[in-house]
Amino acid sequence: MQDLQKRVGAVLALAPVVPVLVIDDLAHAVPLARALVAGGLPAIEVTLRTPVALEAVRAIAAEVEGAAVGVGSVRRPQDFVDALKAGATFAVSPGSSPGLIAAAREIDLPWLPGAATASEAMALLEQGYTQLKFFPAESIGGATALKSLGGPLPELRFCATGGIGANNAREYLALANVPCVGGSWVAPAAAVKAGDWAKVEALAREAAALK
C-alpha cells in the first residue's frame, strides 16, 4: 500500500494540473495527449465515460512519450483490471466503496479514491490512503473546505476536481494539502473537435505555470 501511495504521490507531483479528458473520437487521443505533454502537463486522466476511453488510454500509453496516463471514473472492480490491461499508470474514482477498496488491494495499480467529507477522508486514511481526490470541489465548499480539512488531517493530500478552471485554480494550489488540481479547461471541446492542438498546448503551458 505504501508503495502504491508513493506512486500516486509521484503522479500528483508531476504538474499543478491533471487534465481530465472525455474522449469521444479515438483519433483525437494521441494528438491531444501530445499537446498536453508538450505544454507541461504529463499526468493525464481519461475518464471512462465514452466507448473509446480504454482504447484511448491504450493508444496514449503506447504512442505518447512522457505521458503518465490514468483512467478516471473508476466505479467497478473490473475497471481496475481493464485500466491496467490498457496500460494505465494510475486510476481515479469520484468516491470509494468497500468493493473498490478491496479490489484496489489486489492489483498493482495506484489508485486515487475520492472523498467529499471529513468522514470519508478519515475512513480512507484508516485504509492507508493519504492521497485523495476532493470531489466535487466547488460544490462542497471549495478551497475553504480543503483548508479546513488540513488542520485535523494534516497527513492527507488532495487533488481537487470539479468546477475548477483557470480562474480559481490558484486558490486551491496555494493550499499546503493540494499538490495539484484536476480540470478539463485545458482541453476545450471546441478546440479538440477542431484539432486545434496549438490552442491546447498553449492552455497547458499556462496551466503548468500556475504553481
List pLDDT tens digits, range 4-32: 999 999 999 999 999 999 999 999 999 99
Structural domains of the chain, count: 1
CATH number for the domain including 6?
A: 3.20.20.70
| pTM of the shown model | 0.97
- Give 99-104 contacts, CB < 8 A, sequence gap 24+: 100/74, 100/75, 100/76, 101/127, 102/77, 103/77, 104/4, 104/80
CA dist 36 and 186 (Å) reads: 8
190 is in which domain, residue-wise? 2-208
Residue 99: pLDDT above 90?
A: yes
Cβ-based neighbour number of residue 76 at 10 Å: 14
Residues 6+ apart with CB under 8 A from 175: 143, 146, 147, 150
Write down the pLDDT at residue 82.
98
Write down the pLDDT at residue 2.
83
Catalytic residues: 45, 133
Alpha-carbon distances of 59 from 87, 108, 131, 192, 209, rounded to whole Å: 9, 20, 27, 17, 27
Q: Are 71 and 91 in contact (CB under 8 A)?
A: yes
84 falls in which pLDDT band (50, 70, 90)?
A: very high
